Amino acid sequence: MRTSYDQKPYRRLMMETRGAKIHPLPSIVTVSGREILESNPSYPGSLGIVISEAVEIAAINSNTKYYLSSVLNHVLLHQNVIGEEFIKQLEALNKKPDLITGCTGCWSNFSGLMFTFIREKIEGRMNPVFQAVEPAACPSLMKGVLGYMLMILGIQLG
């Protein structure tokens, strides 16, 4: 997203140092991105646009595949491994947490970690407090607009 592109230059620099070509989204690279930029040149981007542009690029390039990752619920199973491994490490130290803090963004890391500990709390094995944190550069909980955006191939439906 353009917001991440602008607000996190060190991530971009790290990828470019390794040969990646980075485009802020919406971009001029895709039809859907160009259409969005024509109507609003300063649009900050959204996860829906990221997905739309990725799907468009994969659809027109035979050597490109689109991998569904953190945008679908199955990723919670993968991210849950983080919580399971953390519990094993705590057991090895004979420790139980008082506080579990996790970062939010698209929520998959936070949810994957927290769901494991929520299970432990429900089953009475632990009683931690859960805390969500977000980056000041791109907050999604404490600032912004509450709402939903449905996009398919760059077309905003709702």
Q: Are 111 and 77 in contact (CB under 8 A)?
A: no
Confidence band, pLDDT 50/70/90 cuts, at residue 106 = low
| pLDDT of 36 above 70 | yes
Tokens 């057991």: give the residue: 91
Left if phi > 0, otherwise alpha if psi is -120 to 50, otherwise beta: which for 28?
alpha
Q: Quick one: pLDDT at residue 59?
A: 92
**pLDDT tens digit string along 74-103?**
777 777 888 899 999 999 999 999 999 888
Task: Look up residue 70 and give its amino acid.
Answer: S
- Whether omega for the bond prior to residue 26 falls within 30 degrees of 0, making it cis, is yes
Mean local confidence (pLDDT), 3-22 = 90
Q: Which two tokens stand for residue 104?
A: 């939010």
Eight-state DSSP code of residue 28: S
Q: Is 79 exposed, middle or buried (0-12, 13-18, 19+ CB in 10 A)?
A: buried
> Which residues 6+ apart lie within 8 Å of 153 measured at CB?
32, 52, 55, 56
pTM exceeding the 0.85 threshold for the entire prediction: no
Q: Quick one: pLDDT at residue 153?
A: 53
